[in-house]
Structure 1
Amino acid sequence: MNKPLSTLTLSPSSIRHELRNRIIRLAATDRSGFDSLALAVFRYQAVFNPIYSLYLKHLKVQPEKIRTIAEIPFLPIGFFKQHPILTRSSDEAKPCLEDLLTFESSGTTGVVTSRHFVSDPALYDTVSQQIFENRYGPLNRFHILALLPSYLERNNSSLVYMVQRFIQKSDSAFSGFFLHNTAELTTTLQELAAQPEPDRKILLIGVTFALLDWAESDTDFSFLKSLPQLVVMETGGMKGRRQELLREEVHDLLTARLGISAVHSEYGMTELLSQAYSTGDGIFEMSSTLRVLLRDVNDPFAIQSLPDNQSASATRLTGGINVVDLANLDSCSFIETQDLGQYEKDRPDAFRVIGRFDNSDIRGCNLMVI
């Protein structure tokens, strides 16, 4: 699959089918083989994604000459606001956009939002579940409580879609969404504390402002000490409801008020179908189908390499976050985001999100501005 697509004898739909199978296998195992698969996906999308193909032509990039991931041009994320980003084999019927599952980013009135058309929801379901279970274990060993008011208030959130399927997979009568009814959330947690299940964990996943509002209420949270299996996960964002804070400040507030040892985080966005998770300290681990590369803040086409002596270096590299998301097989897998990040010292598979570029939209998904 490393040859240019023009030299392959498979039909375009057969190539896509083979790439899809490889992505699912990769999601279920580990990251070995990521680079070769990413290059194969690049060559496929370079031919069959009209917007990406045109972008490459404007850059005078010859796809067959690309040999490493670092050489691949990343599509600026703003393209999702202006164009339908779709990869479609030439022997497939042209889809009707209105018939596709569509995720849309949040935005204030008058702001153009991103739209991500998903022609293969089953691939998204499979990959997102596998990424979570690789990190946390089977979903049917969880009670999932979702405090996502701002996302539930609209009907096209990728996060709500994913969590809704996680809730179904959990097969728990306690699992569910809580809009603004934090009193019911507290009661549910108290019931779980009164009848602990050692073989089940509890995932409380919430948008940051809602978790802070709940934590700063007059609730007595001492009962949470009876729930050592509780995982509190923030998805970032104040959504204009509160002052923006550093992630570290948010985590300090939540751990102090709730009496928990760590706050977990999820990194994802409308334009991505893969996620990365942090089990504490804001350190995200790249997942089996997601790779982060940092670009120079002044040159979007210059990818920063990890220094050879990184283990001995006290300085973290900082740059713009480029994401390779193999689950974006039918849109674009190579996204230049507006997030700023750092490689984590001594951990080539980990990164931090430290803020956003100036003049970019403040996004309510997994980070605070610096």
Structure 2
Amino acid sequence: MSASTSTHRALVRRPADVENRTLVEVAEVRTPRLDAGDVLLAMAFAGVCGTDWQILRGLRDDPSPVLGHEGVGYVVEPGESGLRPGTPVTVNPTHPRDPSFLLGHNLPGMWAEYCRIPATAVRAGLIVPVPADAGQPRVAALAEPLASALYGVRVARHALRPAALVVWGDGIVGRLARELWDRELPGRRTLLVGRGADAVDPDGAELPRMLAQLPSPVVAVIATPRTGTCGALKALDRHVPGTLLVDVHGGLPSGPVRLTAGDIDIAAVRAANCGGEPWPPRIAAYTRPLGPLLLCGHRGVSGKHLREAVELLRTTAELGERVLTHEVTLAEAADLINTVLTSSARRADGRRVLKTAIRLGDRP
């Protein structure tokens, strides 16, 4: 591809169906015009994440016709970035001080051969150069969720050293979080809650007993879709004894949530840490009948977290190996996404779909 190409291929959302789902199709779209300071990327790989699935299922109202906020691409037009054409980069999709920039949410994202990064994001340092060998599916698809899990680990470990870990949600972030905690604090008791064969069913009769038997202090990472966050938090609050720190990684609606410590605006607690700021992190403390409750969370990551995640994925072959389940072309991505959206099981090609990497193009 070249910068003079007037159109390119992208995975575009169709109008919502009667169930409010937006299926996707490969379409030829106009290559975006650049304003002063903008950067144009030729995408190599992009990831499909849990938030993307929520948008496609109509659980979020993000308007972008082209999704995708995880990936690796090559600089085509450098704008004011100071980067050379051909430099491999990833992009931090969340601006810590400008909520109008949400790549792949309210701005066209990375499920396209070309992606425009506005000057406001360039000036904020959200374009992160990566090593030349980082333009591979595992790094592109897993760097952002791994960076998010890394940030969560750093926030939680700032407060305490847990005797036990609960990971509620056995999807992409949950499994990466479990791997990271196992690397940093090996030998600690871990309970994975989810629907997979290696997880404890969140609706199972044995879960309350298992939570009650965990040694204190306990760190719990909630990495569920936003529809499951409040239920997971309430169950942890009711059953885990002693000191409990909850990293509310999953999104949730705004407004108070009734816990044994009182009515708490969990969404506000989660949003208090954004894009790696502030440090030390904000952690809210409450008193509950079973023991101290510490609540934290975050929105977005810093460039430092992204660089650390890229390096870990490059140098640790086994990290996230089982999380990246599918690598597909644009056309194959449309088939996979639409198959999952229109079926009752999150499976494609006989396997459970966790993380998918979309192959978009070669180095320009």
Q: Shared fold by TM > 0.5? A: no
Query: Structure 1-normalised TM-score?
Result: 0.35
TM-score under structure 2 normalisation? 0.36
More helix per residue = 1
